[in-house]
Structure 1
Amino acid sequence: MEIANEFANKQGISRTVAAQHASRGFMIDQRWADVAATSNDLYQGGNVAEEIFFAVIELPGKKPRAVCDTLTEIVAANPNPTRITLCNVTRAAFEMRKRAARHKIDLGDFWGSTK
């Protein structure tokens, strides 16, 4: 939901396309430990060298594909894209941490989980 809202509200993508992109979010599982660690570093007031992004990449003549990596890795692996739709997953998870804390919701098990 957070990814779909990010795409629709901040990037001006239609809700239908945003939902289609977000439905590929299972890719985030591959980098879940990094998302949990980087979002926690931000939550604790630290800095993060490389944040984790979820992206849907359109390359000429190919179907769109989803990836979850650092921005450096995404750009290096996908030269000359037609379009890249990005969501900073580290920042989205950071926002989730802040909201959970504000409402006194314990998400300890959530951050440690990998599906």
Structure 2
Amino acid sequence: MGDVSHSTFAIGSHAHAESHHHAAPQDAADAELLDAVRELRSDLTRVRGTDRIRELDAALADTEEEITRTGSAAPSRRQRLRDLLTDAESVLTLLASAGALAGLLGT
């Protein structure tokens, strides 16, 4: 058949093909941001959930999805994370991962 990487195909009368391709982060900065987003999301599971924390987690999930889908996070999404990190600062000072992400976002 040859090379079928990044391809989707189905054979047979009842075959169904479904494709899920993910973009790699576009550069080292986006890869680092993706790692920091994932680490903070993991750490948030250890924090008592408040509305701010849930909102931050949702924004982190959206950012993670955007980076894995497109390879980068839009400036508007980065600004939204900056704002949410600032709003949730009192809780997040306990988490080193929050500091790492804030540093990558320039806060």
Tell me whether the two structures share a fold, i.e. TM-score over 0.5: no
Query: Greater helix share, 1 or 2?
Result: 2
